[in-house]
Amino acid sequence: MTDRTLALAVDFGGTKVEAGLVDSDGVVLEGTRFRNPTGGASTSEQLAEAVRGVVRSALATVPAGVTLAGAGIGSAGPIDVDNGLVSPLNLPVWRGFALRELVQAEVPGLHVEFRMDGLCIALAEHWVGAGRGYDNVMGMIVSTGIGGGVILQGRAVQGPTGNAGHIGHVEVGGFDDTCNCGGVGCVEGIASGPKTVAWAQRQGFTGSTGEDLAAAYAAGDPIAAAAVERSGRAIGQAIASATALDDIELVAIGGGFSRVTPDLFDHIRLAIAKRAQFGFVTKVIVVPSALSDAGPLIGAAALIHRNELVR
């Protein structure tokens, strides 16, 4: 037990914050994972308390005699990586909030790494997920938002501010949906779970959640089918554009809405296949995440256990 190398992992997002202990095989230790809600209605102090709460709960489970190798933090973007600041699009009370400092104060003296959550997802897929064995990988989450990160030639792509890989704010042709970032036609503004449901509602769908839409799809509802097709097409166009830019080999997609129906992936692949003259684009493999819902935590831990990828 005591020879195990453990990292504290923290994943901070627009609907929840989680913390847990992850070993050097990328396994979240049973009984060490804790979750608090966040959400756009929270005050700044409530958000800070939510973070402290999960961190303290996870730290309390560290086995006797074990010294943590470090703490990895993944956060919803945008971030300011050098200064450890976060400005999550859907949490307007935090603009330039010192999240890294908040966590560091709970683990004095411990090595802390801080990156965008999308990058953490890509690291997790590359490390122990669907991207194992591939050096040019994009990890994506399709959930309440759409996020991602990119590994090229075996190295994490980060950029000077730490925000490289924001696939959710890549524009896709043929759509004019507005996005919270100020843009028009961003894939997040079209194909996230809530945006897909909202589009379906405008066509007469009476459900209100992604689960409702999934059930309607499974029952053969034509509006649900059209909504899934539309979102898959937008996601596929975004992946095709990213692949044209970066020559990506494999994209692994997780997140609650990515599981609305396996058919979503067929629509994604059809949109990519339209780039028929570009074999280097159509070659991209698109698969479901192999990480369950612990991917973001595993990725945050990868910042410690696979630190060479982000240095």
Angstrom distance (rounded) from CA 213 to CA 220: 11
Q: How far is the CB of 192 from Zn ion (least distance, A)?
A: 11
**How many Å apart are CA 219 and CA 102, to the nearest integer?**
47
63-71, 96-104, 181-189, 260-268 -> range binding Zn ion (CB under 5 A): 181-189
Q: Could you tell me the smallest distance in angstroms from the CB atom of residue 37 to Zn ion?
A: 24
Least CB distance to Zn ion at residue 188 (A): 6
Distance CA 216, CA 224 (A): 6
- The least CB distance from residue 112 to Zn ion, in Å, is 29
Query: Which of 23-31, 70-78, 177-185, 200-208 is the region at the interface with Zn ion (rule: CB under 5 A)?
Result: 177-185
* Contacts (CB under 5 A) with Zn ion, residues 201-230: none
Q: Which of 9/138 has CB closer to Zn ion?
A: 138
Nearest distance in Å: CB 166, Zn ion: 8
Sheet holding 146-152, edge to edge: 155-156, 146-152, 137-142, 250-254, 285-288
Does the protein bind Zn ion through residue 172 (CB under 5 A)? no
79 touches Zn ion (CB under 5 A): no
Question: Shortest gap between Cβ of 189 and Zn ion (angstroms)?
Answer: 6
Strand 16-23 to 6-12 pairing: antiparallel
Which residue lies nearer to Zn ion by CB, 81 or 172? 172
> What amino acid occupies position 57?
S
| Stretch of 180-188, 192-200, 210-218, 222-230 lying at the interface with Zn ion (CB under 5 A) | 180-188
Closest to Zn ion by CB, 177 vs 221, is 177
CB 71 within 8 Å of CB 7: yes
Q: Cβ(137)–Cβ(250) under 8 Å?
A: yes
| DSSP 3-state of 149 | strand
Within residues 104-133, the interface with Zn ion by CB under 5 A covers: none
Q: Is 186 in the site for Zn ion (CB under 5 A)?
A: yes
Q: Which of 116, 120, 179, 271 binds Zn ion (CB under 5 A)?
A: 179
| Cα–Cα nearest to 94, from 49, 50, 42 | 42
Check residue 260 and report its DSSP letter.
S
**Of positions 183, 207, 256, 288, contacts Zn ion by CB under 5 A:** 183
Q: Which of 33, 100, 166, 169 binds Zn ion (CB under 5 A)?
A: 169
Residues 228-247, interacting with Zn ion (CB under 5 A): none
Quote the tokens at residue 259. 């599981």
Nearest distance from C-beta of residue 200 to Zn ion, angstroms: 21
Nearest-angstrom CA–CA distance, 48 and 3: 33
Q: What is the C-alpha to C-alpha distance for residues 37 and 269, in angstroms, rounded to an integer?
A: 34
The structure tokens listed for 294 are 């612990």
Number of other CB atoms surrounding residue 64 within 10 Å: 6
Beta-bridged to residue 148, according to DSSP, are 140
User: Which among 48-56, 60-68, 173-181, 230-238 is the span making contact with Zn ion, rule CB under 5 A?
Assistant: 173-181
- Which of 68, 107, 181, 290 touches Zn ion (CB under 5 A)? 181
Nearer to Zn ion, 57 or 90 (CB): 90
Distance CA 168, CA 143 (A): 11
The residues binding Zn ion (CB under 5 A) are 169, 179, 181, 183, 186
